Amino acid sequence: MWQRYQVWQGEIAVVMPVTKKSFRVGSSQKLSGGRACCGRAFAMVFIRWSLPLLSLAQAHLGPGEQPLPKIAKAGEQNFDQMAAAGINSVNGISATGQRNPLQFPYLTDFWCAYELSDRSRTMALLIDDMQVEYKEYVQGIVAPIQELLVEFRKAKLPIFWSTWWRWGPEDGFFNSMDRFYGPIGWNTSLNALYTHKPNGGDVLPEVAPETEEEKNRVMHKSYSLDMFDERPMKWKVPNNQGTLHQELQKLGVDTVVQVGAWTDDCIISTAFHAFSLQYDVVLIEDGVSTASKQHFNAIEVMRGAAAKVLLAQDVVKYFKAGRPVEPPLPKAKLAGPRLALKPLPSDLRSSNAETQPSTAQNLLVAKEQPSKDKLLQSAELIEQAKEALRHLRQKASSQAEAAEPEEAQDQTGAEADADPAAADKVTVLMPSAK
């Protein structure tokens, strides 16, 4: 009979034989004779043999990295079954194909306040998933990225690359993204999670690293869209690198410049994480692309919340000017009276509480209030206008009465005799009806 002793938080699981008497490793309970000696010896050998395996299992974790949560593997068995049955079928897939679906909205509520020249900066270029698999979608942004590569290399500033490294449901990286995209049609082009070309994970030669130092800065992403959050971190050429954040901090980087694919997945995810890590984020608008119709929507979200959105030529111009530092100066005070929000005067408010304006409905008026004489003058003009209006109504009423047929007047008179209030009603209501 065997019993498993599992100790978490860095310990190992011990599997050992159990006698009729209870047996615990390291317990004060004693066993008699050879059974105790045999049990202890087996346990010591097993533990000693298991410790190297434990070290190997944790060696792939970067400094300060946490192991992958167990929930990442939830549903993997069922997923594999579905994947095997629907490998090349698109029936029921949660995706659709469209031609030329992009729109061009440039409506923005908020935007970045700072300029690149506001302070001295140590910048890094992040090239996200510019790989063979996505060549058709990113070919149009190769030229702007090449221009940036020239300037960053000339300035001896760091450049980091990432490539998406997924090959199918059974590649060993199963996680929440597999569940999102689903198993149906996983081997078709409509499934965006996996790379389908034999060399699809290679960086495009036009923007690939050149030096040995640059080749050490290429990461493989399998678990996270985010370049900062891949765990465990996989570098193409392992050389004791930490996470991207750790590597950037070693180099003193405070500003990241983002290019690559996909705008609405990896780019936006990396941008917001970099923003939360306190980097200034510069998004190159003509240096990012995607295969979905959410490209421009994603750019606008980043423009209004986390990134300084510029064209590649703007950054190139900044480099060619020597990356100047020109701190912004306070702007001159505007001339003229200052405007302020003031509530409506009390005499203009309705007595009905339902019609009274709320604080949010205050009028925008000049800070300097009009004099008392002007207010009185305005009140006199209002009274004069009211009097003129009453005169016009009376005149209109007289003309209407004179134009009515005589029998109508007799009928009105009869009704007035029967109901003395009727005449008053006619006199009062007729001008209003006109």
Q: Per residue in 134-191, pLDDT tens?
A: 999 999 999 999 999 999 999 999 999 999 999 999 999 999 999 999 999 999 988 8
The CA–CA distances, whole Å, from 117 to 120, 121, 315 equal 7, 8, 11
**Average pLDDT in the chain:** 74
Distance between CA 56 and CA 61 in Å, rounded?
10
Question: Helix, strand or coil for residue 392?
Answer: helix
- pLDDT tens digits for range 302-343: 999 999 999 999 999 999 999 999 987 765 544 544 444 445
pLDDT digits (tens, 9 = 90+) for 15-73: 333 333 333 333 333 444 444 444 544 444 444 444 444 444 444 566 656 676 676 77
* Paired tokens of 373: 């004489």
CA angle 255, 223, 263 (to 5 degrees): 50
pTM of the model: 0.58
The amino acid sitting at 207 is V
**Which residues have CB under 8 Å from 289's CB, separation 6+?**
137, 138, 140, 141, 260, 261, 262, 263, 295
Sequence-distant (≥ 6) Cβ neighbours of residue 287 within 8 angstroms: 141, 144, 145, 148, 258, 259, 260, 312
What is the predicted pLDDT for the residue at 98?
59
